[in-house]
Amino acid sequence: MPAPSPGSAPPPPLAISTSGLVKSFGGTRAVDGVDLAVPAGTVYGVLGPNGAGKTTAVKILATLLRPDAGQARVFGHDVLREPDAVRSRVSLTGQYASVDEDLTGTENLVLLGRLLGHTRRAARARSERLLDAFGLTEAANRQVKKFSGGMRRRIDIAASILNTPDLLFLDEPTTGLDPRSRNQVWEIVRAVVAQGTTVLLTTQYLDEADQLAHRIAVIDHGRVIAEGTPGELKSSIGAGSVHVRLRDAAQRGEASRLLERLLGSPVRPAADPAGLSARVSGDGTARGAAEQAARALRELTAAGVRVDDFALGQPSLDEVFLALTDRTASDGPGRATDSTREPTS
């Protein structure tokens, strides 16, 4: 590799780059013109609801599906022209586990290690280390079909990093897991990245992307609707949000109208019938947001709305997601017209 010229930082090498990637199934554009640039050595989050096109994109990148249009490169290798070079550098887990249900944890890892060309001894040693690192030592001699959901997810990941891959695809690795198992998977992801592996993580969970990802692409209907660091995405929708609980749920309508006028942003009812929340933009600073929120509270009280609880917080990624999807819904352009979530009749 040529040395960078003095004074100019070399551009970060990209583990993944795509441009204009498209994949349709019948009338459904599952992936609808996706551009991604994933710096090597990072966790890159692809965040989107069920059906957004995450798995389809991952399958294209892992050379399991051919795109209809566009380009995708993995460490500079074109997925269509150099699939073997791509395959030699990636590993995939999540919705396509390669472990055998009838074998034990150890048997699976040793078998896969042997398939990857390790000697029996090396495969055993590696398997032991991985089972230990993943908290699966006790499950080593248990059949995988008797594993809990969390154990299963961990052995899937263990199997996919038997050979340390340069790029690991984790397709919704924590969907359906209890909080403790999720945390264990998160720790594993952090450990894998610390060893230099790039991770492309798809998730439906905003807090997961927030916790793990250096950058996030938010996708909906096969399109990237926002991209940035978690902090950038949060600040793109305002400085914070207020959460209000009223003494009397009957005043919620009135409080909503007032807040909407005072804050200039849509008010969302909470699950609690006396609860409301709304974004605060202020002048974009935390201080401006606090002042605007304080004014809103004064005016609510002055108007006779009884407030039990009033809190100003940073917007959650959940709110970011709602804000982004609202925007695309109301702006029209940029949204796929053949929406897969609308009734087709």
Judged by the rule CB under 5 A, the positions of this chain that interact with Mg ion are: 54-55
Residue 309 CB, nearest distance to ligand ADP (Å)?
Answer: 36
Please say which residue, 73 or 223, places its beta carbon nearer to ligand ADP: 223
The answer to whether 12 contacts ligand ADP (rule: CB under 6 A) is no
Place of tokens 């819904």: 329
Backbone angles phi, psi at 298, to 5 degrees: -60, -45
Task: Tell me the window of 37-45, 50-58, 225-233, 237-245 that interacts with ligand ADP (CB under 6 A).
Answer: 50-58
Residue 325 CB, nearest distance to ligand ADP (Å)?
Answer: 14
User: Using CA atoms, how far apart are residues 318 and 173, in angstroms rounded to an integer?
Assistant: 19
Please say which residue, 204 or 265, places its beta carbon nearer to ligand ADP: 204
CA dihedral 283, 286, 290, 291 (to 10 degrees): -40
Please say which residue, 195 or 344, places its beta carbon nearer to ligand ADP: 344
Please say which residue, 55 or 63, places its beta carbon nearer to Mg ion: 55
Place of tokens 């108007």: 303
Task: Tell me the window of 2-10, 45-53, 257-265, 294-302 that interacts with ligand ADP (CB under 6 A).
Answer: 45-53
User: Using CA atoms, how far apart are residues 12 and 128, in angstroms rounded to an integer?
Assistant: 35
The answer to whether 53 contacts ligand ADP (rule: CB under 6 A) is yes
Q: Which residue is nearest to Mg ion (CB)?
A: 55
The answer to whether 203 contacts ligand ADP (rule: CB under 6 A) is no
Residue 93 CB, nearest distance to ligand ADP (Å)?
Answer: 14
- CB burial of residue 206 (10 Å; 0-12, 13-18, 19+): buried
* AA identity, residue 110: V
Q: Which helix (H) or strand (E) holds 37?
A: strand 28-39
Please say which residue, 50 or 163, places its beta carbon nearer to Mg ion: 50
* Sequence-separated (6 or more) residues with CB below 8 Å from residue 317: 47, 206, 207, 209, 210, 230, 233, 234
Please say which residue, 210 or 220, places its beta carbon nearer to ligand ADP: 220
The answer to whether 48 contacts ligand ADP (rule: CB under 6 A) is yes
**Contact predicate 231/210, CB 8 Å:** no
In the complex, which residues of this chain contact ligand ADP (CB under 6 A)? 25, 28, 30, 48, 50-56, 340
